[in-house]
Structure 1
Amino acid sequence: MRGRFDNLHRINALDPARDFEEIHRLTLFHEFPWDMRLAFNLAFNRSFAVPRVARLLVATGEILRTPRKRADDTGIIMYEILLNGLDSARGRLALRRLNDAHRGFDLDNGDSVYVLAALVVVPMRWLQRYGWRSPADHEREAAAAYYREVGRRMGVRDIPSGYAAFAEYLDAYEPEHLRHTPEAERIEHVTRDLLRGRIPGPLRGAADALIGALYDEPLRRAYAVPRPPLWARAGLHLTLRIRARALRFARPRAEPLFANGIRAKSYPDGYDLARVGAATGGPAAAPSAHGSARTPAAGGA
């Protein structure tokens, strides 16, 4: 029987500068699937509070009209790239869909670097606080190397090198750029339902308070979300810490996330990767013969 720390031993035996895709796949699909998917939601949410990003998303309109499809499209594209590899035929197709979604928009390079930084740093900080174990240094560095390469293939310039540099960039960028706008508030209202779906059924009645507790104070100010009551903040923290402790002594996953294909509510009959995001009115939320096959369509990032 596999041991709880077998994947960690495997990760630590790899080189994050060379094997960053394999390490990041183990982190996301094997070790922390629920945590990483929630943390990606929170990372994208932070980018929506950047005024230029919020204005562009509201102007293009799709995030307001069909937030579920937009989230599913973003999630499918991002997971397809990692699941199949940057240099695989399907990974290259997903990257083309990502670049197509951004083509024709005057994106600020600093904002694009910030989105990459959020995708690197926010999940690792979540795992540090609520993961069943702390992320290994190899996992942090692999995440940084992976998103640096994704950004490079998207034409993003001046991307930080290494986890510490990404964290420094994020921490310096947010005080100046994460602030309230009417557009950010509108986006939060329509995307809140996506986070409600992450709340366990018995707690759905307290979903709004718990979502507010998932946000930190800078994000709450940017979205004009009131500070949640103490019971929500303390209860959420305690529940997540108990969960982490229980998982530490649980058996490892029998099979990875998406072992049976990526599934999304927007594509109940499966999706054609070559057309995912084709109806998008604006850029995805990433920095927001193989390829045309229909695939069993996970929720968005």
Structure 2
Amino acid sequence: MGHDADRSKDLDQRYRELAMSTFVFETRLAHRLSYFRVFASPRIAGLLKHTGQMQAEPGRRAHDTGLLMYSLIDAGLDSETGSYAISRLNEMHRRWRITNDDYTYVLGTFAVMSVRMIVRTGWRPITEAEKQLVIDWHAELGARLGITDVPGDFASFDAWFTAYEARMLRRSAAGQELLKLALEVVGSQIPPRLRRPTMALAPVLIDEPARSALGFAPPGLTARATVSVLLRFRAWRRRRNGPPPAFFTLGAPNGTYPAGWTIEDLGPRDLSGPRKRG
């Protein structure tokens, strides 16, 4: 095995441990909120609405996003599974004219927002080396997706991400339509009596300017205090009990795919069609 392959395998192993064990709750929370965050960019929301995929199968699209990301983390970027997942992602996106800035922003919703979430909610502080690990792994993913000029450290990526949001985020009709669909999917997974109070807490964890661009009102004192108490309790329990059991198994049956799934099952059912929209 060559030096580059050794480095990639080591990077995969270290990031897998961080994202699926050390900071598994924080990373999963960041990923879930990042799914909403892209709707705050009118250009991205407009393209997503134009494809029609979310309107057709909002639950499946949300689930597929998570399954693809965790397939990459679990298997590794250069594994057979990882390589196929990346080819699948490239196949999904190549027919659309998407700017490099928008690609970088979506990558940042996973990389930058994961670090921010760990800083804010982590059961222990994240180290500078761990911040760099998050950026390095996502930069490698970005390179395989053809994304260029990805900032090489957290401070730089965080500054780039902040500048993009200040320049690009605002409320839009497309974003509101897609957010409504996404919230309905999330709400359907919460017991009915807990649905309203749980959904009322979500804006506490979405910072500005995304919160306003998504149309959420500033959270009140009660909501902020409730989230703070819940997060402190969760952090105490994590310190006491250690990491939770593994939550992801490649191909395992779930609510969307009761008979199990493969990478080929994920994403649009028909990937044929012309490039369109820029």
The alignment's TM-score, normalised by the length of structure 2, stands at 0.87
Partners of 2:228 and 2:270 in 1: CA distance: 36
CA separation of 1:203/1:280 partners in 2, compared to 1, >3 Å: closer, same or farther?
farther
The match for 2:17 is 26
**Preserved contact between residue 21 and residue 142 of structure 1 (Cα < 8 Å):** no
Q: What's the counterpart of residue 109 of structure 1? A: 100
1:153 aligns with 2:144: yes
- CA distance, structure 2, for counterparts of residue 67 and residue 108 of structure 1: 24
Structure 1 gap ranges (5+):
1-14, 283-301
Which moves more between the two structures, 162-171 or 92-101?
162-171
Partner of 1:58: 49
SS at match of 2:209: helix
Instruction: Assess if the C-alpha contact under 8 Å between 2:8 and 2:78 holds in 1.
Output: no
Residue equivalent to 2:256: 266
Distance of 2:103 and 2:56 partners within structure 1: 23
Show the counterpart of 2:168.
177
Q: Which position in structure 1 is the counterpart of 2:240?
A: 249
Percent identity of equivalent pairs? 34
**CA offsets 1:113-142 (integer angstroms, 9 cap, x no match):** 111122111111111111211222222111
8 Å contact kept, 1:81–1:90: yes
Q: Distance between the aligned counterparts of 1:193 and 1:237, measured in 2?
A: 25
Shift of 1:197: 6.2
Q: Does 194-203 or 66-75 show the bigger shift?
A: 194-203
In 2, the alpha carbon distance for the partners of 1:34 and 1:198 equals: 18
Deviations 1:140-176 (A, max 9, x none): 1111111111111111111111222211111111111
The answer on whether the counterparts of 1:185 and 1:222 sit within 8 Å (CA) in structure 2 is: no
Compute the displacement of 1:17 (Å): 8.5
The aligned counterpart of 2:226 is 235
Greater helix proportion: 2
Q: How far off its partner does 1:37 sit?
A: 1.3
> Residue type of the partner of 2:13?
E
Structure-1 residue corresponding to 2:158: 167
Cα displacement string for residues 45-82 of structure 1 (whole angstroms, at most 9, x for unaligned residues): 22221111000011111112211100111111111112
Q: Which whole-Å CA distance do the structure 1 matches of 2:221 and 2:189 have between them?
A: 21
- Is the contact made by 1:23 and 1:139 (CA closer than 8 Å) also made in structure 2? no
Letter in 2 for 1:271: W
Please state how far the C-alpha of 1:198 moved relative to its aligned partner: 7.2
RMSD: 2.5
Distance 1:197 1:78 in 2: 22
Matched, 1:91 2:74: no
Q: 1:212, 1:225 within 8 Å by CA — same for their partners in 2?
A: yes
Q: Which of 38, 49, 54 pairs up with 1:47?
A: 38
Count matched residues.
267
Work out the CA distance in 2 between the residues paired with 1:39 and 1:200: 22
| Contact map agreement 1:63 1:187 (CA 8 A) in 2 | yes
> 2: CA distance between counterparts of 1:40 and 1:181?
22
Distance 1:197 1:16 in 2: 42
Cα distance in 2 for residues equivalent to 1:262 and 1:38: 21
The counterpart of 1:279, out of the listed 265, 269, 274, is 269
Change (3 A) 1:272 1:232: same
Note the C-alpha offset of 1:183. 0.8
* Aligned CA distance change for structure 1 residues 55 and 211 (closer, same or farther; 3 Å): same
Shift in alpha-carbon separation, 1:198–1:124, aligned structure 2, 3 A: farther
1:182: Cα distance to partner?
Answer: 0.9
